[in-house]
């Protein structure tokens, strides 16, 4: 039913203004099922603002967002039922255990056969032995895995991951990336991914968008983009864009 290539997310003409400041300015992009799209940019570029608008906790000043073809502005609850997220700045309540957190969020997302789903994910992310441990005392790596389990509870068709591997060691990061890539390959969902780790982005993402000062400056294949713009690597391109965003013209402009 949800084939690779169909749209999980469509953002059109997104803008968010705070007074005279435009945190996000006329941003349009799409995420297809089976695709991992990297949203890159320096701190304050507008990545998290964009993600917050997709999550429905921030209303755009202009533009529209469709998740699975459902306009989040008109049918917020229906649209959000198809999505989920994990973000470093939104840790789960530390005074609930791993299992209690998953049950709480599973009920919020109205997940069918919740217990079975929790057990499957706990086993998949190697958290079974921590089920009765309070989330607040987990290591940062374990908390990240828990956040990912929570994000997968409702089998989302759009997954938003804001620096999901920021606190993981290289081995754990590799495992997580592998799982997420395999999820995307099966065409189950489209993934919007932010990260400051350019190696990870190049390794994981099918497509990237560079954001600076609230605008998408570049978009394309992370392996091809550096060469197209005369940079030796994605990291070098990132640094150049972060320091001199206007020096690199947007493609097609």
Partner 1 sequence: MRLRPIAAIALRQLYLMRSSPVRILPMIAWVAVDIVLWGFIARYLNGVNSKGINFTASLLGAVLFWDFFTRVMQGVTMAFFEDVWSRNFINVFASPMLISEYLCGLVATGVATSLVGLIVMLIIATAIFGLQFAALGLLLLPFLLVLFLFGIALGVLASAMVLRLGPASEWLVWPIPALLSPFAGVFYPLATLPAWMRGVGRLLPPSYVFEAMRSVVAGGDFSGRQLATGVALAALYVLLACWLFAAIHRYTVRSGLLARYSAESVS
Residues lying near partner 1 in the complex (CB under 8 A) are found at 16, 18, 49, 52, 55-59, 76-78, 80-81, 85, 87, 89-97, 100, 103-105, 107-110, 134, 150
- In the complex with partner 1, the residue whose CB is nearer, 85 or 238, is 85
DSSP conformation letters of the chain: ---TTSEEEEEEEEEEEETTEEEEEEEEEEEETT-EEEEE--TTSSHHHHHHHHTTSS--SEEEEEETTEETTT-HHHHHTTEEEEETT-PPPTTSBHHHHHHHHHHHTT-TTHHHHHHHHHHHTT-GGGTTSBGGGS-HHHHHHHHHHHHHTT--SEEEEESTTTTS-HHHHHHHHHHHHHHHHTTS-EEEEE-S-HHHHHHH-SEEEEEETTEEEEEE-TTTHHHHTT-SSHHHHHHHHHH-GGGSPPTT-
What's the closest the beta carbon of residue 104 comes to partner 1, in angstroms? 5
Which residues lie below 8 Å from residue 105, measured CB to CB, with a gap of 6+?
92, 150, 153
The residue among 74 and 76 lying less far from partner 1, judged by its C-beta, is: 76
Write down the least CB distance from residue 19 to partner 1, Å.
11
Question: CA nearest 55: which of 37, 40, 76, 35?
Answer: 76
Q: Which is nearer to partner 1, 55 or 168 (by Cβ)?
A: 55
CB of residue 89 to partner 1, shortest distance in Å: 7
CB closer to partner 1, 95 vs 233: 95
Instruction: Return the number of the residue (134 or 215) whose C-beta is nearest partner 1.
Output: 134
Which lies closer to partner 1 via its Cβ, residue 162 or residue 200? 162
């Amino acid at each position: 039913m949800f084939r690779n290539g169909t749209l999980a997310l469509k953002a059109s003409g997104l803008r968010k203004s705070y007074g005279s400041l435009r945190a996000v300015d006329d941003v349009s992009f799409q995420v297809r099922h089976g695709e991992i799209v990297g949203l890159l940019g320096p701190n304050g570029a507008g990545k998290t603002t964009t993600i917050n608008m997709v999550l429905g906790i921030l209303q755009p000043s202009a533009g529209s967002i469709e998740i699975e073809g459902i306009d989040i502005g008109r049918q917020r609850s229906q649209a959000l039922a198809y999505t989920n997220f994990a973000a470093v700045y939104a840790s789960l309540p530390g005074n609930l255990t791993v299992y209690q957190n998953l049950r709480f969020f599973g009920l919020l997302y109205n997940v069918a056969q919740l217990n079975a789903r929790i057990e499957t994910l706990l086993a998949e992310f190697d958290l079974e032995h921590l089920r009765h441990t309070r989330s607040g005392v987990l290591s940062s790596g374990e908390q990240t895995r828990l956040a990912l389990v929570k994000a997968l509870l409702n089998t989302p068709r759009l997954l938003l991951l804001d620096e999901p591997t920021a606190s993981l060691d290289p081995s754990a990061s590799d495992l997580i990336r592998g799982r997420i890539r395999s999820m995307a390959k099966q065409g189950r969902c489209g993934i919007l991914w932010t990260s400051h780790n350019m190696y990870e982005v190049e390794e994981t993402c099918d497509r990237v968008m560079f954001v600076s000062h609230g605008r998408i400056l570049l978009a394309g294949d992370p392996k091809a983009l550096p060469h197209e713009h005369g940079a030796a690597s994605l990291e070098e391109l990132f640094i150049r864009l972060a320091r001199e965003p206007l020096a690199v013209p947007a493609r097609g402009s």
